[in-house]
Amino acid sequence: MDNRPIGFLDSGVGGLTVVKELLRQLPNEEVIYIGDSKRAPYGSRNKDEILAFTWEMVNFLLSKNVKMIVMACNTATAVALEDVKEKLDIPVLGVIQAGASAVVQKTRSKQVAVIATEATVKSSAYKDIIHRKSPSVELTSLACPKFVPLVEANMMAMPEAKAVVKESLAPLKGKVDSLILGCTHYPLLKPLIQEEMGPEVQLIDSGAETVRDISVLSNYFLISGSEREAIQHRFYTTGDPATFKAIAGQWLNIDDIKVEEVDLSQSQPKTKTLIVATRNQGKAREFEALFSDRGYSIKTLNDYPELPEIEETADSFEGNARLKAETIAEITGELVVGDDSGLCVDVLGGLPGVWSHRFAGPDPTDEQNMSKLLHELASTALIPERRTAHFHTTLVASMPGKESLVIDADWPGRIATAPKGEDGFGYDPIFLVGNGDLTAAELPFEEKNEQSHRGQALRKLMVELPSWLDK
């Protein structure tokens, strides 16, 4: 018997799918978990980086006196398992072997597929093991680089998730009888994946299969835990502890889960710069809220006083967003996101639209813009259904030498007859959200972000950015 904990590592929250299975099958084992959400996704990183980051997590777990290490991450397993195994004298287990064995046993048609990160697909680790076990099984490998960012942002229940899963899995539909979820993040999207592939396709959860191997290995080395009170699982993340806690609490069904933030890379923090092409601090704050946990340091034009003022001279949101993002990217050589947004009122044929900011004149206050709009709509004051409108935003991400990434989002509502509420900015006090009677200026900051055009667009950007950067 050995009551020391088992160490789990992952690029983020995905390894929790393995932990969930462990808690079910081996309730006498204590868990120490480290997730590197700040540097996720690993899948689009190069081998040297993945190896270095994995070693940082291994060393962290060793400092917690673990009796075994489970690489609950397919990407880390594909790149680093052999190296770590060779150098440690405690048992080290990956997640690929078990998933590969399971598919060979379960397939009838011998047409199978694995979905995984780009790095795992590139390593051909699944292909090698499956072919060694059964040369007649035909394996298709598909990288789904947008899945990990979706899960890391806890967006599994949002409509964007369904759309991304559908688009990503299209090449596999109707072609296989078994599908390996070759990334431990993917079981968190299982209902969507099953719905897209159809009920006849068996999904193989590599992580769950791995727990059987943990059990066999613990028995072999006589290191199983004994039945006891007070098992205290501990979770560590390099990212935002609140997001980790939300995902872990829900997935593992533990109420008082202990999550601590750690910094693995004191020596050389790998922060990337993202310039938001605006001088509007309110916008910058919304970017900061989402992207700083992902390892980005957010800068605005205020940090670069020498840059020129960029006039919004185009007549479309995309045109203006491109002007801002592409000009600044060209000058600085950095990753830049520009956005243009506005309020589009249906009876006004979409006005003020791109001209929202300058609606009441060249440099108006928010109050002047709102009064002008209320004045224009005076004749519809008693007919709410004639006052429908939506906020629109277009984000453009730009890097020199790259085709820009363009993202749009809308937020529907109606125009109120008088301003109401203290929060927000711009036209928020006269924008009634959806069919309700609260204005955007009456919503708390977080709630507005959850629903708004800019919130939606930023979350889409978070999902699309890593694979776009890798193109």
- Binding-site members for substrate are 10-11, 42-43, 74-75, 184-185, 278-283, 341, 425-428, 448, 453-454
Considering the rule CB under 6 A, would residue 53 count as an interface residue with ligand Y43? no
**Per-residue DSSP letter, 428:** G
| Beta carbons within 10 angstroms of residue 100's beta carbon | 28
How many amino acids of this chain bind ligand Y43 (CB under 6 A)?
A: 22
- Give the rounded distance of the alpha carbon of 147 from its chain centre: 7
Query: Considering 240, 293, 339, 340, which one is annotated as catalytic?
Result: 340
Residues in region 256-295 near ligand Y43 by CB under 6 A:
278-280, 283
Radius of gyration of the chain (CA): 25
Among 86, 72, 80, 12, CA closest to 49: 80
Which of 426, 449, 466, 468: binder of ligand Y43 (CB under 6 A)? Answer: 426
Considering the rule CB under 6 A, would residue 10 count as an interface residue with ligand Y43? no
> In the annotation, is 73 catalytic?
yes
Considering the rule CB under 6 A, would residue 243 count as an interface residue with ligand Y43? no
**Contact map string, positions 109 to 138, toward ligand Y43, x by CB under 6 A:** ------------------------------
Pairing of the two strands 234-237 and 178-181: unpaired
With vertex at residue 56, the alpha carbon angle to CA 51 and CA 57, rounded to the nearest 5 degrees, is: 100
Task: Provide the residue type at 243 as one letter.
Answer: T
Q: How many Å apart are CA 353 and CA 341, to the nearest integer?
A: 8
- Give the count of alpha carbons within 13 A of 289, CB side only: 15
From the list 24-32, 214-222, 336-344, 413-421, the region that binds ligand Y43 by CB under 6 A is 336-344
By the 8 A CB rule, do 328 and 277 touch? yes
Residue 260: Cβ-neighbour burial (10 angstroms; 0-12, 13-18, 19+): exposed
Residue 319: Cβ-neighbour burial (10 angstroms; 0-12, 13-18, 19+): middle
Smallest separation (angstroms) from Mg ion to the CB of 396:
13
Query: Considering 183, 240, 339, 344, which one is annotated as catalytic?
Result: 183
Residue 201 neighbours by CB under 8 Å, 6+ apart: 176, 177, 178, 179, 194
Instruction: Pick what 427 binds: Mg ion, ligand Y43, none; C-beta below 5 to 8 Å, kind-dependent.
Output: ligand Y43
Which of 35, 91, 353, 424: binder of ligand Y43 (CB under 6 A)? Answer: 424
Considering the rule CB under 6 A, would residue 237 count as an interface residue with ligand Y43? no
Tokens of 285: 């704050």
Tokens of 72: 């609950």
Smallest separation (angstroms) from ligand Y43 to the CB of 455:
9
Which residue, 310 or 347, is less far from Mg ion as judged by CB? 310
Q: How many Å apart are CA 406 and CA 457, to the nearest integer?
A: 10
Instruction: Pick what 424 binds: ligand Y43, Mg ion, none; C-beta below 5 to 8 Å, kind-dependent.
Output: ligand Y43
**Per-residue DSSP letter, 225:** P
Q: How many Å apart are CA 435 and CA 243, to the nearest integer?
A: 30
With vertex at residue 81, the alpha carbon angle to CA 5 and CA 52, rounded to the nearest 5 degrees, is: 90
Residues that bind Mg ion (CB under 5 A): 312, 340, 357
Which residue, 118 or 339, is less far from ligand Y43 as judged by CB? 339
Which of 452, 458, 465, 467: binder of ligand Y43 (CB under 6 A)? Answer: 452
Among 457, 421, 455, CA closest to 437: 421
> In the annotation, is 144 catalytic?
no
- Give the rounded distance of the alpha carbon of 172 from its chain centre: 23
Q: Which residues are annotated as a binding site?
A: 10-11, 42-43, 74-75, 184-185, 278-283, 311, 340-341, 425-428, 448, 453-454
Which of 60, 291, 391, 468: binder of ligand Y43 (CB under 6 A)? Answer: 391
Smallest separation (angstroms) from ligand Y43 to the CB of 331:
16
Considering the rule CB under 6 A, would residue 425 count as an interface residue with ligand Y43? yes
Question: Which residue, judged by CB position, is nearest to ligand Y43 in the bound state?
Answer: 426
Smallest separation (angstroms) from ligand Y43 to the CB of 316:
12
Considering the rule CB under 6 A, would residue 428 count as an interface residue with ligand Y43? yes
Which of 149, 239, 342, 466: binder of ligand Y43 (CB under 6 A)? Answer: 342
Which residue, 66 or 277, is less far from ligand Y43 as judged by CB? 277
Smallest separation (angstroms) from ligand Y43 to the CB of 453:
7
Considering the rule CB under 6 A, would residue 440 count as an interface residue with ligand Y43? yes
Smallest separation (angstroms) from ligand Y43 to the CB of 93:
48
Considering the rule CB under 6 A, would residue 341 count as an interface residue with ligand Y43? yes
Q: How many Å apart are CA 345 and CA 229, to the nearest integer?
A: 62
Instruction: Pick what 318 binds: Mg ion, ligand Y43, none; C-beta below 5 to 8 Å, kind-dependent.
Output: none
> In the annotation, is 2 catalytic?
no
Considering the rule CB under 6 A, would residue 340 count as an interface residue with ligand Y43? yes
By the 8 A CB rule, do 168 and 196 touch? no
Site of tokens 């996720």: 40
* Beta-ladder partners of 296: 272
Helix, strand, coil percentages in the chain from 3-state DSSP, rounded to 5: 45, 20, 35
Query: Considering 73, 205, 339, 344, which one is annotated as catalytic?
Result: 73
Return the active site residues: 73, 183, 340
User: Which parts of this chain interact with ligand Y43 (CB under 6 A)?
Assistant: 278-280, 283, 312, 339-343, 356-357, 369, 391, 424-428, 440, 452, 454
